[in-house]
Homo-oligomer: A and B are copies of this chain.
């Protein structure tokens, strides 16, 4: 049978107030302390956290709304958040929306009902409904991955990353490039990376690129890549992919055709997933620090919860990683 604070008080022969004081570190005599301690150990009493929270009118929970759990970036980010939050005495509540936008909205209201202290939303697309919900629930929210002027945001420097990648590819001598991107609805991945790449392209005379679109899944990328590989004439000498996952798909499509990387075609990604280092050849990519981004998001949301000042926008850096998937064109003057 579940014990309540009243039971403990009765058994120990003291008042509920005293037991509560024991639980919350108030001052009491050694004798009472020992008595209560003993009874609690005996009975295995566990305080009801609802009653506690009802009084406290808040929790020490932070919510994370994520589109999926089974992706490298999401799981790394969540792990970072979790560790930082735990160190600060907060608990993380993860809501998985299975890439369903309207579920993000529901989750916002749900978390509010649960008196969560703050929310980090792993954003892909920001709609009016998002903004409205954030306003209505009246608890601190941070967007991670996308930015909006009305909400505190943390983003990666996707534009600069795209620019760097463009410069790199061009510097290796590539002049006929295929850019395999994603929907522009995702501003960070679909627009910014591409814009950065295009900016680099514009600076290089004689360079041209074809722009293609793929889904986020590897299977979609295989299909999109097959299309490029089979139908583009002349072949581009490099395919710049908007994500590592897409790059993996391209590599697979190439393998299936006996097209060698990087000898026959070069491939690059964005993200810096662990796999990109294991595969052969290693993938040249831009690495984002997902785990530390998660930690940062945790620190930021805590600041907001505690009413401390916080910049509206934080832009995260990245690391360019050169591996073996890009050919130095001078070795193949035929292109």
Contact = CB atoms under 8 A, between A and B. Distances in A.
A261 to B, nearest CB: 10
A315 interface: no
A114 interface: yes
Interface in A15-73: 44, 46-51, 53-54, 68-72
A75 B70 contact: yes
Oligomer: number of copies: 2
Contact of A218 (B93, B251, B278, B280): B278
A109 B40 CA distance: 14
A222 to B, nearest CB: 10
A7 interface: no
A82 B66 CA distance: 12
A53 B52 CA distance: 12
Contacts of A280: 255, 279-280
A184 interface: no
A76 B70 contact: yes
Most-contacted residue by chain B among A91, A136, A278 (CB, 10 A): A278
A109 B51 CA distance: 17
Contacts of A93: 93
Given A69-B75, A69-B78, A70-B76, A115 B49 contact: yes
Contact of A46 (B48, B75, B112, B248): B112
A5 to B, nearest CB: 13
Given A278-B218, A279-B278, A280-B280, A114 B49 contact: yes
Contacts of A136: 44
A111 to B, nearest CB: 10
Nearest to A255: B280
A124 to B, nearest CB: 17
A2 B136 CA distance: 11
Contact of A113 (B46, B83, B96, B115): B46
Contacts of A275: 275, 278-279
A218 B274 CA distance: 10
Contacts of A98: 79, 82-83
Given A49-B115, A275-B278, A79 B70 contact: yes
